[in-house]
Each structure stands twice: as C-alpha cells, then as structure tokens.
C-alpha cells in the first residue's frame, strides 16, 4: 500500500465539516484537508509519529498519527482546554483568582493559537477565491533556487483590469533540482497556468498548476511524447514509435487529463524519488483496459503510417 486515507466528519450546529488525512508512505508525508481544502502538508518526524493542529469553525482540533505494532493509527480530538467553552470557563476562573490556570492558558494560546489562526486565514482565502474569484492566464517569470528547507519560490504575473500583478507561490517537490508542480510536471520559466484572483483585491490570488492554458497543455503533451520516445529500447528504435508516442499521449490526455500525461512523463521515474507518479504507477496505468486497447491501436496506426 502506497498511501492511507482517513476521514472524519465534525458537526457544528447545522454545519458539517469534512476532515481528510492522506498519508503517503513513500515519503512519509501527511496531508490534511478541511472541506476539500488542503490545510497541512508536513512530514512525520523521525520518531514515527506526528501531531497536527487544525481549526474547525473556530474550534481547535488535534490529529495524531502514531505507529502501533508496525501500522499507523490516526485519531482526531478536540482540544478541550483551548476551545471556546474552555476559554470562557478560564475567564471565570481568572475572575475567581486562579492565576496558575490562567497563566497556563496564556502559554498554550501563544504557542498554539497563532498557527491555527494562520491556517484558518488560508482556508478562508481559498474559500473566498473559490466563491468570488475570477480566472485568467498567468505566466511564470522566475524561479528562486531552493531554500534550506528545499522549497522553491515561483514568481508569476498576470493582468487584472489593465494592471500587471505580480505574485509568488511555494513549490516543495523537486526532481534533479527542478521544481515539480502538484500536477506532476516540471516547473519552468514561461509556463502559462491559470490564476484565480479577487477582482476587488487582485493581490489575493492563487496559482493553479492543474489549469494550464491550451499552449501549456500542448507543451505537456509534447513532453509526454518525448519521454515515451526516450523509453523505447535502442534495439527497437523505429520512426513509427514517434507516431505511436504522439497517439498514446493524445489518448491519455483525452481520457485522463493531466494525470494521464504525468503517468507517461514519469514512466521511468524511480518510486523512491517521486511517490506520486513513477514507473510503478505507470505500469498500473498502462494495464487499464482502455489504455491497453489504446496502446495496440496506436501501434497499428503507427505501423500503417510507416509502410
């Protein structure tokens, strides 16, 4: 098993909130989503366990991942000592003079509440963009070298009402020193991708790697075709394989979108290097019934065109 998914539902009055945990074992990384919006993406520590705090409708919760008998177990719990009800009780206790408990609460608030509020702000921004944002093409203008944490800073720009807006985005994945987008493709200067922004405050925006422009999508298809061609053994090299690879890339994109192209791009990538797309996921992808048929059809087309 390459990953584990755990789901919880939190009910607050008439509102239901979904919390999902995605644990990728290849890099031991945890992703936590609140109502389908990613809030946390962190590695589990070397001791084999991790704790992650998240704010749900103003209430703090803690998710714990711990190894038990060789298997990971995941729990979700509300932090009662930091909830609104608890804070109200502590105010009463403060008025009664229980100074020690009040000081303890302040210490916890200083350590825990600010990160939770930042997460909640990110979540609110994403929701605002989803509900009220406009979309436009953006262009990557520069890429800052990886920081000590291995993160790349991607600079991009787009037009809003005749004004050029510049912004940036952090990319954490990389292959051979090149940043890799969440869609699985190398990020390069000149890439054109969708940007979601608020018309009344365009500095509030977000770059979407999964919404390339038609020109960028063609660039990804060309890359998938080239990777397919490069994977052909030298002893089998024949011009018809270029037709075959172009046909296969077209089919993969038409039926599976960017995911299909990413599988072709990473057909020779080692699983230990990149867990999301690699040689193993490619083999499973090509064993799909429709991809097996497409492979044969594309080979026939290539053979007919090169008689």
What are the pLDDT tens digits along the chain (307 aa)?
577 889 999 988 788 899 999 888 877 888 888 888 878 888 886 667 888 888 887 778 888 988 888 888 999 998 765 555 555 655 665 565 555 555 555 555 555 556 666 666 767 777 888 788 888 999 999 999 877 778 999 999 999 989 999 999 999 888 888 999 999 999 999 999 999 999 889 999 999 998 899 899 999 999 999 999 898 887 777 778 888 999 999 999 989 999 999 999 999 999 999 989 999 999 999 999 999 999 999 988 877 654 4
β-sheet bridge partners, residue 34:
19, 37
β-sheet bridge partners, residue 16:
11
How many Cα atoms are found within 13 Å in the side-chain-facing hemisphere of 119? 23
- Segments making up each domain of the chain, as ranges: 3-130, 133-212, 215-305
Nearest-CA neighbor of 197 among 222, 151, 165, 243?
165
What is the predicted pLDDT for the residue at 92?
60
Burial level of 213, CB count in 10 A (0-12/13-18/19+)? Answer: middle
8 A C-beta contact, residue 191 and residue 154: no
Residue 177: its H or E element: none
- CATH no. for 3-130: 2.40.128.180
Q: What is the CA radius of gyration of the chain?
A: 24
Rounded Cα–Cα distance for residues 111 and 126 (Å): 25
Q: Which residues lie closer than 8 Å to 261 by C-beta, 6 or more apart?
A: 185, 220, 221, 223, 224, 249, 252, 253
Instruction: Please report, for residues 13, 51, 172, the alpha-carbon distance to residue 10 in angstroms, rounded to integers and kept in the order given.
Output: 10, 18, 30
Q: Which residues lie closer than 8 Å to 174 by C-beta, 6 or more apart?
A: 146, 150, 152, 180
Nearest-CA neighbor of 68 among 44, 46, 43, 49?
49
Q: Which bin fits 277, alpha (ψ -120 to 50), beta or left (φ > 0)?
A: beta
What is the predicted pLDDT for the residue at 233?
82
Rounded Cα–Cα distance for residues 75 and 49 (Å): 12
Quick one: DSSP state of residue 82? G
């Amino acid at each position: 098993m390459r990953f584990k998914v755990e789901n919880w539902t939190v009910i607050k009055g008439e509102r239901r909130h979904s919390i999902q945990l995605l644990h990728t074992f290849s890099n031991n990384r945890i992703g936590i989503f609140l109502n389908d919006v990613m809030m946390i993406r962190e590695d589990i520590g070397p001791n084999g366990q991790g704790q992650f705090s998240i704010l749900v409708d103003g209430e703090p919760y803690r998710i714990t991942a711990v190894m038990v008998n060789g298997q990971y177990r995941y729990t979700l719990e509300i932090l009662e000592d930091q909830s609104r009800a608890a804070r109200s009780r502590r105010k009463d206790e403060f008025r009664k003079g229980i100074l020690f408990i009040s000081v303890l609460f302040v210490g916890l608030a200083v350590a825990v509440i600010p990160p939770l509020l930042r997460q909640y702000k990110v979540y609110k921004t994403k929701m605002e963009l989803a509900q009220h944002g406009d979309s436009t093409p953006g262009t990557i203008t520069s890429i800052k070298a990886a920081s000590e944490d291995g993160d790349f800073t991607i600079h991009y720009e787009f037009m809003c009402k005749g004004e050029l807006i510049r912004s940036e985005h952090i990319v954490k994945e990389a292959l051979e020193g090149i940043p890799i987008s969440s869609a699985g493709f190398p990020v390069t200067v000149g890439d054109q991708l969708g940007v979601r922004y608020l018309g009344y405050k365009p500095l509030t925006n977000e770059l979407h790697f999964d919404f390339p422009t038609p020109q960028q999508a063609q660039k990804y298809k060309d890359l998938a075709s080239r990777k397919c061609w490069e994977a052909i053994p030298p002893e089998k090299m024949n011009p018809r394989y270029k037709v075959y690879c172009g046909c296969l890339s077209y089919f993969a994109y038409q039926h599976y979108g960017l995911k299909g192209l990413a599988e072709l791009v990473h057909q020779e990538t080692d699983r230990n290097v990149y867990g999301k797309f690699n040689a193993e996921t490619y083999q499973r992808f090509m064993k799909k019934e429709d991809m097996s048929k497409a492979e044969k059809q594309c080979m026939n087309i290539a053979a007919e065109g090169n008689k």
